[in-house]
Chains A and B, each alone.
Chain A
Amino acid sequence: MHVILTVPRKAAVRPAAALGVIKRILTEQGVHSRCFDINLDYWTTLQGTADPALFNEIDEFLFVKNRELGTEAMQIFNAFIDKWIDQIAQQEPQRLLISVFSWQAQRFTEQFLRRWREHNTCEVIIGGQGLIREENGSWANSPTFAHYLLAQGLIDHWIRGEAETTLPAILQGRYDVPGIDSDEMATRSDIREHAPMDFSDFDISAYKSGIATGVLPVESSRGCVRRCLFCDIPTMHGGYRSKSGRQLAQELIHYYDRYGVSDFFFHDALCNGSMRDFREFNQALIDFYHSRSLPDRTMTYSSHAIVRRATAMRPRDFDLMARAGAETMVLGVESGSDQVLASMRKDFTQADLDYTMKHYSRTGILVYFLMITGWPTETEQDHQASLDMLTRYQKYVADGTIIGVNLGTTLTIEQGTPMYDQPELVHVKGLDGRLPQGPDWVCTINPDLNYKRRIMRRIEIQEHCNRLGYTFWKGDDQLKIMMDKYQERLARIQEMIH
């Protein structure tokens, strides 16, 4: 028996794709396994029973670096972990596979493994984007958190990158393939050969998706067709590879038939990287509805998407999406300034976004905005352009098209991004003689844009969104993280002074 875990902290809105992938691979290899979602239990049982203040203390402990737990919160937290350790130990696992979703899952993972190792000796393997300590990226030169856990004796191995090419080797007792216990990434698999994920261990309807039958994650592609300077997706996932439209549609139909789920979220970087495949996918869903005498939009899907020019994404494409079941598109809108968009190499303009928004609104497809404030070359006029864009798009809040804005924690420079490798592209240099990284950078042609100014612009945009009636997402978490980072930097400066 192999046990597969997902741990806090992430939103408990659907099962984790990683677990569905791992279980599918294990089953294909003839290995019996069981998935447990501790994160879901964290957001249901623990949040539902613990005193709200104590739960908040535990929660902030997981994602705010400079927090420690008081005695009472520590007792609750440890009791929660011990409950799970007992449950997992009863399975007598041969291997424990833990998906560390992001840096926000690291503290729980470490605390969990410290207690697990006290009484259990089975092989522990971790994987996921949380193997690195970078907070705003999915890639780093080295999986430092994995190295740390190994040095602490808390894990036996890690998988860096895709499970498809590493897990079968591990099951054969081979740990010498790329991606295992090294900084090297796993060999990339052919996404067109992936079978559907296995979610048979999950109570899909138990997640907080707002949909009675629940939502499942789906993957349409890996990599990205664009090369935005701040993004590490191409480094992490390599060149763009997508499932064929028909293959993707068949996968959704499989989940619909097997689990009774009709709502899906694509967890990859974009669904419209290949317009040919995307059209084929939408048409295949419509054809499926027709073949079973089902209405349009029997299934729905939400996804990240790129903003395309009118010549690449025609009005008919939006119509097809709407009929197939497109629900919410997450758009990296980033800025209201064409100068900033060009500097980012976003490959679209405000005119393209205006066109895109018009057609999403027309076809009833919802949109969620991802924005970045404090781009190195962002001037006061550029910042004003972002405010003006939000004012201009207020009508799309009123008509229900825009369902949210996520501003992030201002521009940070992460390993694996073009701007990290070539900071001269945006005229940035690091502070104190170091390389530019995270929020620690200054732009030589825009030196007034210091970290505080970037944060104040971000706050100003959030206030503006509040005034206009936008639904703002993750603001509390992000503000606390920024304050944490800011105080870290102040402490570093004070150390240097003394």
Chain B
Amino acid sequence: MVQSLQARASPLAAVEEQLRILGQPGGVPAFQERMAAAGLFPLHATGITVFQINVGKLCNQTCAHCHVDAGPDRREQMSRETAERCMSALARTDIPTVDITGGAPELNPNFRWLVERSRALGRHVMDRCNLTVLCVPPQTDLGEFLARHNVEIIASLPYYRAEQTDAQRGAGVFDKSIEALRMLNDLGYAKPGSDLILNLVYNPVGAFLAPKQSEIEAQFRRELARRWGIAFNHLYTLTNMPISRFLEFLLATGNYHDYMQRLANAFNPAAVAGLMCRYTISIGWDGRLYDCDFNQMLGWEAGFGAPQDIGEFDVVRLNSRRIATGNHCYGCAAGAGSSCGGSIL
């Protein structure tokens, strides 16, 4: 299996190197300049509705586009103490949605406790699931656990064919993903009349933008039903972010400048209103606070006077905080926009 950038001691494992490259997008105007020209700079939050917890970088896969540089060789994991501080902070708010991500978040020993506690607080819970983790032997009861707690599953599946999926996510991932999707359908996920929600996430398998969400969703629905009898609720399209391992791919294939140009050409001021950083707070495995999961991976903590640690969580101050932006933000503002909830427009 491919190792993480960190395990390979790649220069890109250092965020300083990523930021240096992102600062030289080759003829592409700085994101902040485009935002200012559109009268949208600086960007501010509009109130937090999503409490996104990244519980760590451990994953059973090493996907080629991973913005987290996650993998089996990573050891960063949210401790029980930090998880408890997260729940304590959440309990003091009325933020309706808890979004748990990683890595493969289910591999964190505190994952199930976080789900149970969040549900006990009456919050909607989303699990960003790579699907294959549901087939890992110690996790074979995971699907039942998620169903029992009515957890919405956001499952990664970049294409409805093995060739493309395995090229991005690793050999054999597609077959296991199909097995996991069938198991979730059998548990009632995405079945007519069921309130168990199974949404899929599409990432382009390469240096191009995502299709129109409604069209690719229809394609997936038709092909997954026809080939494997699989049902799902919705499909979300996400743009690949030019950081971490996807940045490595862009550089190695000579696509970096063209991709940045493609993103910048597709900059859409109308998508900015719905950027996920405006309604999300992202919490790192160590309890630090960020504007989004991408800023978290670049080490950009919430700034401009906002609280920076879960122990200082103050929803009033965070609700209208100023958001840190950089050239990678073109990824979320291109075309129809991209967020954890799919296309923005």
Q: Do A and B assemble together?
A: no
